[in-house]
Amino acid sequence: MATASGGDEFVDKFPDEAAIIKASFLIAFVSLGIGAFFGLIQALHRTNVFRVIDSADYYTVLTGHGVLLAIVFTIFFLCGVFHWAVARSLDRPAESALFSWAWVGLMTTGAVLATVAILGGFVPNLGMSADVLFTFYAPLQAHPIFYIGLAMFIVGTWLAGADWFLSYRAWRQEHPDERIPLQTFMVLTTMIMWYISTLGVAVSVVFFLIPWSLGLIESVNPLLTRTLFWYFGHPIVYFWLMPAYLLWYTVLPKLAGGRLFSDPLARVVFVLFLLLSTPVGIHHQYLDPGIAEGFKFIAMTNTMFLLLPSLLTAFTVVASVEHGARQRGGEGYLRWLGALPWRDPAFTGMALAGAMFAAGGFSGMINAGMNINYLIHNTLWVPGHFHLTVGTAVALTMMAGSYWLVPQVTGRKLYSRPIGLLQVIMWFVGMVFMSNAMHRAGLAGIPRRTAEPQYQNFEFLTPIGSIFELRVQIALGGTLLFLSVVLFLFNILLTSLGEESDRPVDSYLPEPLSGPEGSPRILDNLTMWTGIAAVLVVLAYTLPLAGIIQNGGGLFGGGLPVPATVSAGVDLVLTTVTSAFNTLWGVVA
C-alpha cells in the first residue's frame, strides 16, 4: 500500500485508470437509476397502492429491475473499484489502456443488448422480449439478443480480470520477494472465484440457451440449465460482496480514524470464499426432485462452512472500527461508538450496510437449512433476504464508498455531505420497512414473483399485524429507497460538475496493525488455492450433474425429471468410466 500522505491525487497519478473508473461508475449509476425506478413500480403495483402498468408487464419490470441492479450496476461498480484498487495498491497503471477500454466496451455492448431485449417486452409488436427474470434458466425463454448480450458481458468481465492479472504479473517481475499487496490479493482471489463460477453459466448460455432461442435445437434439459445457473448463481453473491468487503477491510477502518486490525485474517477470509463459494449452489434447489437428497445435504453442510469467513469478517472489521473510535477518544465497552464519525456519509453508509448484512446473514441461515427452507421457499422471505444482502450490504456500501471514491477519480470535492448523510440513512430506514415486511410476509406463505397481491378464494394470515400493514410497509420502503437513489444520483452529478480541487479527499490508507509479514507465505500461493477450489467443485458437482443428465432425458431434455438417488449418479459415472476404460484398453491391446 502507498504510505505517503498528501502525495499526488489518484486522478493526477493515474489519469487513464481514472477515466476507466469514471466510465464504469457512469454505467453503474445509470443502471442504478433505471433499476430503482423499476423497483418503485414493482413495490407500488405488487402492493396494489398505485398501478401504472398492466400486470402482464410486471414481469418485464421485474426482469429489468433484477438484471440492471443485480448484474449491471453491481458488476460495473465492482470493475471500477477493482481497477482503482489494483492501480493504487501496486502503484502502477494498467499494462494497456486500450485493453482496459476493450473490456469496458464489451461489457457495455453486452449490457445494452440485454437491456434492449428486456425493454422490448413493453412493445408486443416488436417480437422481442426477455421476461425470464434475473435467474433466466429454462423453461422460460428469452430473445437470442438477451443471451448473446449476457455472454458478451461475462466475457468482458473475464477480460477485466485478465487486465488485473497482467498488472500483477508485471509488478511481480519487479518485486519477486514481496507479499502481494492486500487490495490486489483481494481482487485476484475474487476473480479466480469468478472464473471458476462463471464456467457453469457460460456453458448454459453458449451451448444450450442461445442455440435453443435461435431454434437450432428443439429443447433443453430444464433442470440442467437451472443447476448450471445456480452453480454460478450463488458465488455471484460473493462476487457482489467482495468489493464491499474490500472497502470494509481497507477503507472503513481509515474513515473510523484507525487501522485494519489484521491483514492475515483478511487474506484467510478471501481464500475461504475462493474455496467455499462455488460448491454450494445446490442449496437453491432443495425442492427440485431431480437431485438426490444426499447431494442436497452435502450442499447444506458446505453452505454452513461459509459462515466462518463471514464471522471472521465481523470480528476483524468491528475490531478495526473500535480501534479507530478509541484513537478518537472513545472509551468504555460501548460508549466508544459515540466517538465514531457518524456525520461522514461514507462511514455511516458502510457501517449501516454492515449492520444490515448481519441481519441478512441470519435470514440466510434459514435459506441454507435444508428442512426449514421448505417453510419459506419461493416466498417473499427470499427477496427480503437478498434485499438485505445485495440490496443493502452491497448497494449501500457501493453508494457510501462512492462519496469517498468519486472525488479521487474526478478531482472534485463531494457536493454535499449532509445530502449524502440523509441519503444513506433514508436507504437504511427504507430497507428496514421493506425487508422486515417481506420476511414476515414470507412466513405467512405469500409467494414471490407474482404481480397480484392476493389470490382468489384464499386469505393469507399473519400471527402479528395484518397483510394490509405489510403491504403499506413494502410500498413505503420501496418509495424511500427510490428517493434515496434520486438523492444519491443528484449528489454525484453535482460533484462531477463541481470545480477541481487540489485535495478533494484524504485518500491516504494507513498500514494494518498486524501486517502480512506475520502470516504464512502460502496464503499468497494463488495456484495452489485455484487447484483446491477446482477439486472441490469437481467433487461437489460431478455426481449431481451425472444424475440430472441421466434422469432428465440427456443433455437436451426430452423427458420429465424423475426423483433421483445418489446411487443413480454413481452408477452413471461408473458406467461412463468403465466404458471409457474398456475402450482405451481395447485400443492398447
List, by residue number, the catalytic residues. Answer: 234, 238, 385-387, 448-449
Tell me if the bond preceding 139 is cis, omega within 30° of 0.
Answer: yes
Please, where are the H alpha helices in 449-565?
A: 467-496, 526-551
Total residues found in the chain within this entry = 589
In this structure, are residues 426 and 483 in contact, taking their beta carbons and an 8 Å threshold? yes
Q: How far apart are CA 467 and CA 474, in angstroms?
A: 11
CB proximity list for 149: less than 8 A, separation 6 or greater: 109, 110, 111, 112, 113, 114, 115, 116, 117
Q: How far apart are alpha carbons 168 and 89 in whole angstroms?
A: 10
Supply 366's cell numbers: 434459514
Q: Measured on CA atoms in the order 450, 451, 456, 458, is the torsion positive or negative?
A: positive
Q: How far is CA 384 from CA 348, 391, 394, 400, in A?
A: 22, 9, 14, 21
- Which residue is listed with cell 428496514? 432
Chain-centre distance for alpha carbon 92:
27
Least Cα distance to 114 among 31, 33, 174 occurs for: 31
CA distance 492 to 33: 12
b/e sequence 137-152, b meaning 16+ C-beta within 10 Å: bbeebbbbbbbbbbbb
What DSSP character marks residue 447? B
For residue 285, give the DSSP letter.
G
Q: Write out 399-410 in H/E/C secondary structure.
A: HHHHHHHHHHHH
Burial class (CB within 10 angstroms; exposed 0-12, middle 13-18, buried 19+) of 170 = middle
Contact 270, 185 (CB under 8 A): yes
Hey, which residues does 500 pair with through a beta bridge? Answer: 412
